[in-house]
Structure 1
């Protein structure tokens, strides 16, 4: 029997209080990784992680650099070594038309969905580079490629995640740190449940698969990117478990 794909690896899943992050954390743990989940205080306890492998939690505010660095330091202590794999899955989704959008709504989405990705990546990067191995997996969205009516701030942030991923990948791939984006299509989660039914009905009709995905269908893409040798040739890529919404 072959060893689990992530046997002995140390992983941090940011945004693990959400369904996609929780599914990734569970799959990583099942596959042998020591996992720390980070999210806002009070959001993690509501998730049940059934994996039998080691699983720890820390609080984080991804919009705050001090909080981000403290969470990475806490995760490092819990894991008994530096973070080798990080998944940036923290995000918010609020539906509003551009002409009705407040600056505060725009800025909050950019701060969490884009700036938070930057802050976490920056906080974990140096030890990865020193070790000559690391995986940074950012969760974007297919709307970062397509745009989205009444979701311009979200689409803009996710497009930024894709551009940030490509740029960072070019900086660090030669030093053994691989950076990639997962850009899911619509996924049935609490976040998408807040989008109006008319939008969802129209989107389902546009999808070649005819349905939204589930978090468990997204998590295996993160496992592929985190694994060795499975993820070894992915550099600055955008992988799309998106029900056929985007076909590059």
Structure 2
């Protein structure tokens, strides 16, 4: 097919972009961790090396559908991504943002629970849980089987649901920040948010760290409502965490 080389080039380009985004974002939060919690990653160099290798492989897997979608958007009209701000009414812009987050979170919750079934865990998800404790480099540390499940969701959404290109960029930014910061091993968000009304519904490192500690519950990505609905939420009352008043941030599990 004449367009095959162009799609391959697009997939390679998106792989480089996804890999570069991972290295920059995880590298920044790893640097931040070393500033806030000196020495926290000091004994984890072999683990971090393993996380980076798995993550770069995942970046290649994420890059393939992303490259196909990018080519299709620019050349074939395969997607619902739009650039004209007047194409839809203004109220649709924030609605589309939250729709994408909710649907992505729903997909993540149920596939994540599936990967915790013994057979799936052994085949794939054990790679991610080899990070004990997780670090900022672990956000994309997946077995290829799990990486495929994560790589298809955003491309599927842009084919089905209209979204402005800038809003899509914001979705990807939130996905990156939440994915990395939830694995740092310390809480960067303030106590008033984590312990307040928002914290009852949002997932932060305080919430996700217990998933890595107990290997059960707290399966969501952005929100806690599926955990609450399905009885898999380990709430703050169960965490036993306390906040550091000296540094102004929270060490998980202290």
Specify which structure has the bigger relative contact order, considering alpha-carbon pairs within 8 angstroms and separated by 6 or more residues. 2
Structure of larger gyration radius: 2
Which protein has the bigger helix share? 2
Same fold by TM-score greater than 0.5: no
